[in-house]
Amino acid sequence: MLRIHNTLTGRKDPFEPLVPGTVRMYVCGVTVYDDCHIGHARSALVFDVIRRHLEYSGFSVTFVKNFTDVDDKIIKRAHERGKPWQEITAEYIEAYYRDMGRLGIKPATVEPKATEHMAEIIGLVQELIRKDVAYQVNGDVYFQVERYGAYGRLSKRKMEDLQAGARVEVDERKRHPMDFALWKGAKPGEPAWESPWGPGRPGWHIECSAMAMKHLGETFDIHGGGMDLIFPHHENEIAQSCAATGKEFARYWLHNGFVQINQEKMSKSLGNFFTIREIFEKSEWPEAITGEILRYFLLTTHYRSPLDFSDQGLREAKNVLDGFYDLFKRLAEAGQSSSGADDELPFDIGFAEVTFKNGMDDDFNTPVALAALQQLRGAINKLIQKGLSTEARKAAREKFRSLGDVFGLFQLNTWQFNPLKKIAREAVTALKEERMPDSAIETRLAERIEAKKKKDFKLADEIRAELASQGITIEDRPDGTSRWKR
């Protein structure tokens, strides 16, 4: 039984979708005016994994993730660069797909853009005016917060509390300080769409309500996003959606914790953020491996807890993954008839599967699920020592592949550095260009095996030292062959 922590109730609730066997979920995507940072990566990854786990659990999932492609920040950026705003959004949507692709984030089922839903947005605003919960002031339309009695139920805030600490500058045209814009009249030169209130653009919150309703219906199962969206964004989405339809909007609200740098929130305003792009460009590992390291690292902490980003954390993730891929290398080799090890394998696998699933079913506890995989790694290493058949090895590798798929891990066939691919990439440092090609390594390795056969250990050690200076580690196997890795 899957249980999910619901921000709305403040508890872990048993998950029961509205329509049995199907899940409809909406996650707030990004505003496309800049490169994505690790915080975006974490959020995207968390919901990617949640989606994958739901699918793994047998649900048919409709996953909607939007792009906010019209907004004040975009207009500002366009102005700064002297470019049309459409060029800014196109550029960063492309960057988004590049970065998320590197991270192995699966595209959502539907990825709607605000600018392509003007009719729905305008219709929703009209409905709110018709119901007398929104009002027009010149070319703007505001949602009247006092008309929605349950305002504050998501963020657990009272209207009075909000006002007390409010640092919002009072807009005289609003009837209540907390009222928020549904539609903003356009100033000259700003992007604008025709509406009953004159040319303008949607407010930030309304687009999500309109797009969620269009693609998922008035009431759906899961709505997610970063913790910072609880207030005001999601609170406002609930208010305007419920006021418009008279029905519940989303039933389970999920929010991921922040990525921090040195115990502090990572944010644009503090200037202490890393973009996904720079992490990949600075990485000494090829793209696919860097992506997997990053995924593993981001999943070592439960999605609701804060996560401190650090090079040390990344290095540790690499070490752990090395252990897994070393095992996979062994599993790819021929085995010998076992002494009962084959019979023990299903027990170890079954145990890991149950632990994995129980962990994930408990509010997507990825650290517990990861621990199950680590235990399985140890168990199978022991079985290999006892003697595991070729078939059993294949079965074990397949199990890692299928369980790992929930996290997007363990899908690579080789965990080795590929210099040709690396050189093809843009940001290659001189150091990296001097990497030894695989063929040269293989040649030296063959020479070393010859030397070993002749008991010329001096030469063998020299060759190993030479390769070691290139960052290459050699493993001699009992049968006289050798493996190498970077």
Partner RNA sequence: GGCGCCGUACCCAAGUGGCUAAGGGAGCAGUCUGCAAAACUGCGAUGCGGCGGUUCGAACCCGCCCGGCGCCUCCA
Are 74 and 90 a contacting pair, CB within 8 Å?
A: no
Rounded distance, CA 130 to CA 239, Å? Answer: 15
Tell me, residue by residue from 193 to 212, as one string, x for binding to RNA by CB under 7 A and - for no binding: -----------x--------
- Work out the burial of residue 167: count CB atoms within 10 Å of its CB; fewer than 13 is exposed, 13-18 middle, 19 or more buried: exposed
Give just the sign of the alpha carbon dihedral 208, 212, 214, 219. Answer: negative
Residue 265 vs 422, nearer CB to RNA: 265
SS (H, E, C) 275-323: EHHHHHHHCCCCHHHHHHHHHHHHHCCCCCCCEECCHHHHHHHHHHHHH
Size of the residue set binding RNA (CB under 7 A): 82
Among 214, 223, 399, 464, binds RNA (CB under 7 A): 464
Are 257 and 370 a contacting pair, CB within 8 Å?
A: no
Residue 170 vs 420, nearer CB to RNA: 170
Q: Is residue 232 reached through a cis peptide bond, with omega within 30 degrees of 0 on the bond before it?
A: yes
Judged by CB under 7 A, the stretch of 17-25, 74-82, 87-95, 302-310 that binds RNA is 302-310
Which 249-278 residues touch RNA, going by CB under 7 A?
256-260, 263-269
Q: How far is the CB of 273 from RNA (least distance, A)?
A: 7
Q: How far is the CB of 378 from RNA (least distance, A)?
A: 4
Residue 256 vs 416, nearer CB to RNA: 256
Which 91-150 residues touch RNA, going by CB under 7 A?
none
Which 214-233 residues touch RNA, going by CB under 7 A?
225-233
Which 318-357 residues touch RNA, going by CB under 7 A?
319-320, 323, 326-327
Rounded distance, CA 273 to CA 277, Å? Answer: 12
Which 26-85 residues touch RNA, going by CB under 7 A?
28, 30-31, 37, 39-40, 42-43, 73
Residue 353 vs 362, nearer CB to RNA: 362
Residue 98 vs 428, nearer CB to RNA: 98
Which 169-198 residues touch RNA, going by CB under 7 A?
none
Q: What is the DSSP letter of 340?
A: S
Give just the sign of the alpha carbon dihedral 459, 461, 463, 465. Answer: negative
Which 372-411 residues touch RNA, going by CB under 7 A?
374-375, 377-378, 381-382, 384-385
Residue 281 vs 461, nearer CB to RNA: 461
Rounded distance, CA 301 to CA 298, Å? Answer: 7
